[in-house]
Amino acid sequence: MGNNNGKSNLKKQRVNESTESLTPLEDLLEPAKDLIENSVAYPLNFDQTVAFMNSASGESDVLALIHKHTEDIQGVINLLYDLYGVVDHKGIKNKCRKIQRKIKKATEGTLNLRLDVPTELSGLAGSSHNPVN
């Protein structure tokens, strides 16, 4: 027996944050459904948004994925930006930011896109969430 000064050798297990939520993405995005469905500012409807976000996680070519749904890359960025401010689930917020970073990386030097969408350009009036850096 080693010298453990009466302490247990059990280590606290880390929570694997990369595991997907057991709650369907559609349910986690439900707070944003009205926003998405009732705004002409977004190029995707609610079902397309759910499908896009489900597919984006393992997608290496995020621009090709966006082009399967729309040609409006900036509109998708605006949608992700606004979702971040409406949805409370941390995993969804992280997913929005990860997809935004993928888009930024894929378009660096080729497109003039804004990830720090000002409220007046996004579909969400009264938005107060932080931009991606």
Residue pLDDT, tens place only, 10-39: 655 555 444 555 889 999 999 999 999 999
Question: Is pLDDT larger for residue 59 or for residue 118?
Answer: 59
On whether residue 11 sits in a domain, the answer given is: no
Residue 59 counted as domain residue: yes
Give the pLDDT of residue 128: 45
Q: Is residue 80 part of a domain?
A: yes
What pTM was estimated for this model as a whole?
0.69
| Residue 57 domain boundaries | 25-107
| Number of structural domains found in the chain | 1
In a domain, 118, yes or no: no
Mean pLDDT of the chain: 80
Is 5 part of any domain? no
CA distances from 52 to 5, 43, 69, 93, 95 (A): 53, 12, 8, 15, 11
Q: Is residue 76 part of a domain?
A: yes
- Kindly state whether residue 31 falls inside one of the protein's structural domains: yes
Per-residue pLDDT band for 95 (boundaries 50, 70, 90) equals very high
